[in-house]
Amino acid sequence: MNQVINLFRNFNIFLETDNTGKHLLVPPEYYKHWFESTAEWLQDTFDLEELRQSSLFAGREVILSGINLLDAYDDFKEIAKVFSDNNMAVTMQIEAIELYNHLEKVLDLAKNHIITAVCISIHKESTDISSPELMWEKLTETAVSLIITGAVNNLKTLSVFSSPSLNSQDIRICPYPEEGETYETLPENTACNCVEHLIISIGADGFIYPCLGLINIEKCAIGNITDDKAFYDSFIPFASKMIEQGPDISSSGPVANNSELAWFCRRHRYEVSHNE
Amino acid sequence: MNTLLENDIIKAKLLHDMPITFNGLVIENTNKCNARCAICYQSAGSENNNHIDINKAKKCIEEAITLDTLNPRFHLAGGEAFLYMDDCIDLFSTAKKAGYKTISATTNAFWCTDKEKAKNFCNILKDNGMTYIEISWDNWHKDFIKPKAIENCIMACYENEITTNLRILTTKSHSMEEALNRLDEKVIPYIGQITSSPVFAVGRATEVIPGEDFYLQRGGLGTPCYSSLNLTINAHGEVYPCCAGFDQCRDYSLGSIYDESIIDIVKRTNNDPIIRRLVFLTPSAFLPILKEKGVAIEEKCYNNCQLCSRIFSKKENIDIIKEHFEKRKQEAFLRFIEKLEAQLKTKKEESR
């Protein structure tokens, strides 16, 4: 049961701006309400000793992602504070070019301990940044944790491997092939339990999913944060099965290479999306 | 953001109530290594000869997973763990049968000089449960390991869906770029992730690397480590709460798997005031205790792991800390006795 409780330890939240571009699609107060009602459900469903053993009181993380989020800076900051005020580490996922254009806002969030990590994606559009070392230097001065992802050539263009600032601290880099899809088949011997990959993920419209791989596939949603209360009771048997056995997936055929997901996540998503 | 008072309340709650939890079980099956890298925090080399009893290690794997406070992850490290290939497979297989969900190892990939053999062996590893591998590669490994072995390991793991982490250590003179430039650039996209850290100024590194070449003082002394602990058994069978340096501080082991069960050791650790203070309040919490006895930790530390290592690698520091906590225990006991006596006296007076 600890492993099921641990699903609620960390969250992956996607955010999107509304038509005005100045506010987020789902207002911050819904996230606050959802977080509080989820905490209540956990306390009602599991005993205190179980919750303690699962480290649910400490060492938690939330990842906030989206495009142009810093245009809705006030809303974004308010949502980040829902989690940082409850002692969760907040990781901000951002495109390198957006980071560069809004660096002062990100530095402000980092210096005030509202975010503790920044995950930076470097796509081709980001490689026009003229002075990346200055950006790396200012970021590393805040001691915020850094994760950088991107195609190898893009990483090299922004001096990720050679930057004295990035070399001076702990850093995680996820290198990808050149942008574009490649196809691959499943390996013969498969080990695919979901335990390392299950994380409550919330789409930009507020729908809640059991993992990143199923996000935005509405039939896989287990609820919505704009609803009145948490509703996870039916989620527990599904989660237990995923943890122990992994998803029901077929054993052959090509699947697109989305490097951010484990292969069986890609396969599961592909099959769920294409099945009635 | 929490106020200072709220932070103190949180710290007190953690210190008194939170169980010590572990992200996984780490076994260092040997401290022998076929390399002798300058940056090795263990100062491992071919002259070391400790090799853990395989049956004791397997028993620990089977027992440890029953702990509520352990995440079901198993990691094998060394020295160079793969010097004992058959043992590795046996331990992975045991971990898989016991129900560990993530099974991994750290290696310098010396066993991958032949591409086909590397692929076949990774297939065996995968069959026996391995899901993740950490490959050590940097300026100091290059003197002992061929780049081709690293490339073959990366590709063999990719073809067997074993996730790879290329682990690089850096100094001001030796960067990630330098390490990666030694590899065929075509294999780099197949690496799952690259993790890079500055070299710790401990052990052999301080003898070989000039002081000014280390990256130092980058903050990070404020964050406690309770959420990143690993239940670690070193090559001597000694148990520690982490594998980031404390596992080499032999004057403060939590116990030995040759003398008692891992379950009993962990239960005792959860109540150990020194370990609780270390993981919930950071190693800085011991500095005033040491300072009171005239011991100052002068050198600047890059992070908590380095500070912890600096404190606990010296027996005299440990003796001071133990004496401090023993004294506090005695004082607490005396206060308790005084309180009982006062209560007894009050009751007697009330009954007259």
Query: What are the pLDDT digits (tens) for B326-337?
Result: 999 899 889 999
Measured between CA atoms, the residue of chain A closest to residue B176 is A161
A171 phi/psi in degrees, rounded to 5: -150, 150
Work out whether strand B163-170 and strand B193-198 pair parallel, antiparallel, or are unpaired: parallel
pLDDT band at residue A2 under the 50/70/90 scheme:
low
* Residue A181: predicted pLDDT: 52
Work out whether strand A117-122 and strand A145-151 pair parallel, antiparallel, or are unpaired: parallel
Listed residue (A105, A114, A43, A64) closest to A85, CA to CA? A114
CA angle A192, A196, A197 (to 5 degrees): 85
Q: Is B193 in a helix, a strand, or coil? A: strand
Is the pLDDT score of B49 beyond 60?
Answer: yes
Q: B189, A52: Cβ pair inside 8 Å?
A: no
The CA-based dihedral angle spanning residues B309, B20, B133, B194, taken in that order and rounded to the nearest 10 degrees = -60
Q: B2, A3: Cβ pair inside 8 Å?
A: no
Maximum Cα interatomic distance, chain A, rounded to a whole number of Å: 54
Cβ–Cβ under 8 Å, residues A59 and A32: no
Mean pLDDT of A65-80: 94
Q: Which of A160, A170, A176 sits opposite B189 (nearest CB)?
A: A176
Mean pLDDT of A124-140: 89
Which H or E run contains A201? strand A198-202
Residues of A in contact with B123 (CB under 8 A): 189
Least confident of A177-186, A243-252, B185-194, B211-220: A177-186
d(CA A111, CA B259): 48
d(CA B52, CA A117): 38
* Residue A45: predicted pLDDT: 83
Least confident of A173-177, A194-198, B49-53, B129-133: A194-198
Helices (H), chain B: 4-17, 54-64, 85-98, 115-127, 147-159, 176-181, 204-208, 262-270, 273-281, 287-292, 304-312, 315-351
pLDDT band at residue B176 under the 50/70/90 scheme:
very high
Instruction: Name the β-bridge partners of A115.
Output: none
* Residue B36: predicted pLDDT: 86
Listed residue (B117, B138, B145) closest to B35, CA to CA? B145
Is the pLDDT score of A190 beyond 60?
Answer: no
Q: Per-residue pLDDT tens for B97-114?
A: 999 988 999 999 999 999
Is the pLDDT score of B3 beyond 60?
Answer: no
* Residue B178: predicted pLDDT: 96
Mean pLDDT of B240-267: 92
Distance (Å) from the alpha carbon of B106 to chain A's nearest alpha carbon: 17
| Two structure tokens written together for B57 | 């290690």
Is the pLDDT score of B148 beyond 70?
Answer: yes
Mean pLDDT of B181-207: 89
CA angle A172, A175, A178 (to 5 degrees): 160
Is the pLDDT score of A276 beyond 60?
Answer: no
* Residue A167: predicted pLDDT: 95
Which amino acid type is present at position B285? A
Burial of B36: CB neighbours in 10 Å, binned 0-12, 13-18, 19+: middle
Q: A178, B189: Cβ pair inside 8 Å?
A: yes
Is the pLDDT score of A251 beyond 60?
Answer: no
Give the ipTM: 0.84
| Percent of chain A surpassing pLDDT 90 | 42
Q: B1, A2: Cβ pair inside 8 Å?
A: no
DSSP tag of B53: -
pTM metric for this prediction: 0.85
Is the pLDDT score of B1 beyond 50?
Answer: no
List the domain boundaries for chain A.
2-246
Note which residues in 189-228 of chain B have CB less than 8 A from chain A.
Answer: 189, 191-198, 215, 218-220, 226-228
Least confident of A61-70, A248-257, B53-62: A248-257
- To test the contact with chain A by mutation, choose from B173, B176, B213 the residue with the greatest count of A C-beta atoms within 10 A, namely B176
Q: Per-residue pLDDT tens for A82-106?
A: 999 888 899 999 999 999 999 999 9
Mean pLDDT of A205-233: 82
Cβ–Cβ under 8 Å, residues B197 and B305: no
Q: Give me the sign of the Cα torsion angle B273, B277, B283, B286.
A: negative
Instruction: Name the β-bridge partners of A121.
Output: A95, A149
- To test the contact with chain A by mutation, choose from B165, B188, B190 the residue with the greatest count of A C-beta atoms within 10 A, namely B188
Which H or E run contains A242? helix A235-245
Burial of A179: CB neighbours in 10 Å, binned 0-12, 13-18, 19+: exposed
Distance (Å) from the alpha carbon of A187 to chain B's nearest alpha carbon: 7
Measured between CA atoms, the residue of chain B closest to residue A177 is B189
Q: Per-residue pLDDT tens for A3-60?
A: 677 788 889 999 999 999 899 999 999 999 999 888 888 888 887 666 665 556 667 8
Q: Per-residue pLDDT tens for B277-287?
A: 999 888 989 99
Mean pLDDT of B44-53: 88
Residues of B in contact with A266 (CB under 8 A): none
Note which residues in 223-242 of chain B have CB less than 8 A from chain A.
Answer: 226-228
* Residue A213: predicted pLDDT: 80
- To test the contact with chain B by mutation, choose from A50, A168, A182 the residue with the greatest count of B C-beta atoms within 10 A, namely A168
d(CA A51, CA B105): 30
Is the pLDDT score of B341 beyond 80?
Answer: yes
Distance (Å) from the alpha carbon of B227 to chain A's nearest alpha carbon: 5
Which H or E run contains B198? strand B193-198
d(CA A29, CA A78): 9
Q: A3, B185: Cβ pair inside 8 Å?
A: no
The per-residue pLDDT of chain B, averaged, comes to 89
Distance (Å) from the alpha carbon of B111 to chain A's nearest alpha carbon: 22
List all residues 6 or more positions away from B31 whose beta carbon is below 8 Å from its beta carbon.
B42, B44, B48, B49, B50, B78, B79, B234, B235, B236
Q: B102, A196: Cβ pair inside 8 Å?
A: yes
Residues of A in contact with B172 (CB under 8 A): 164, 167-168
Residues of A in contact with B93 (CB under 8 A): none
Residues of A in contact with B10 (CB under 8 A): 87
- To test the contact with chain B by mutation, choose from A1, A49, A161 the residue with the greatest count of B C-beta atoms within 10 A, namely A161
Residues of A in contact with B13 (CB under 8 A): 57
Cβ–Cβ under 8 Å, residues A113 and B1: yes
Is the pLDDT score of B38 beyond 60?
Answer: yes
Q: What is the number of other CB atoms lying within 10 angstroms of the CB of residue A7?
A: 23
d(CA B138, CA B143): 10
d(CA A140, CA B184): 29
pLDDT band at residue A174 under the 50/70/90 scheme:
very high
Distance (Å) from the alpha carbon of A25 to chain B's nearest alpha carbon: 25
Q: What is the number of other CB atoms lying within 10 angstroms of the CB of residue B21?
A: 23
